[in-house]
Structure 1
């Protein structure tokens, strides 16, 4: 349907339309239901892969080149960014409800890095293994203190994006 409606558009317009109409559907409630299996994540990624083909004909650049031309990121990168934003908002009480008890902080003074280091949670089921607190553990703890201790959500997003681009 997307291809029929917007088949003759240029890459930047197609990217804008994709961000406006398709991506919110794919990312709806992402921190809650994150795909457990790699094939589920690949299936969601295939939607973006197909949408990036629309402005090109049969001869088109590779998927990575199309992403850089359209200034898009992969589905897994977007999901990880969304999970980190939720974690930041929960730890800094930017929700209407106190969710800071969802994440257990490691209060050991001997740790390097920032003051918001998370403690690894023990789990017995695969569902709990892929719960947001365990999905973000390693990435969150590897963030520099300048990113984690941002003053607002937008400042966190900007500093996280700058940190990712540097790596």
Structure 2
């Protein structure tokens, strides 16, 4: 997929001299790392809702004490010392999940969740490039 995306962005005449990230930004596309993070967050949402079975919910413990800010589904960050492989997704996604706005996390509709998630991730991604 990455090779196809690189080749497609090279075909645009005005972007031939630009670097890969500039070509992606100009065409509105995102790299593989963005798509991977997006998929991880969607997977965590499905786990927290119980769509993937109750046994996976134990790997994503919710924080007991919630503050007035943020959303009610704040994840507890597990310690990384001797962390088994099955906990790596929860360790990797926790900070990003906790930083999402409440209207994104608490969205009921899947399509609207993905749309709002894309808008938040897009602003985060372009802020990192600047």
The alignment's TM-score, normalised by the length of structure 1, stands at: 0.60
Which residue does 1:120 correspond to in 2?
Answer: 77
Cα 1:48–1:141 change in 2 (3 A) is: farther
Q: What is the 5 A alignment of 1:35-54?
A: 47=3, 50-52=6-8, 54=10
**Structure 2 residue aligned with 1:131, among 84, 88, 100?**
88
Cα separation, 2, equivalents of 1:101 and 1:129: 11
Which residue does 2:47 correspond to in 1?
Answer: 90
Structure 2 runs not aligned, ≥5 long: 125-130
Alpha-carbon deviation of 1:60?
A: 3.6
Alpha-carbon deviation of 1:50?
A: 4.1
Higher-Rg structure is 1
Describe the SS at the equivalent of 1:65.
Answer: helix
Cα separation, 1, equivalents of 2:23 and 2:105: 31
Cα separation, 1, equivalents of 2:86 and 2:94: 11
Cα separation, 2, equivalents of 1:156 and 1:144: 11
- Aligned-residue CA RMSD in angstroms? 2.8
Which residue does 1:70 correspond to in 2?
Answer: 27
Moved over 4 A (4+): 126-130
Cα separation, 2, equivalents of 1:101 and 1:111: 25
Cα separation, 2, equivalents of 1:83 and 1:54: 29
Worse-matched range after superposition: 104-113 or 133-142: 104-113
Do 1:129 and 1:135's aligned partners in 2 also have CA atoms closer than 8 Å? no
Describe the SS at the equivalent of 1:136.
Answer: helix
Q: What is the 5 A alignment of 1:4-23?
A: 22=1
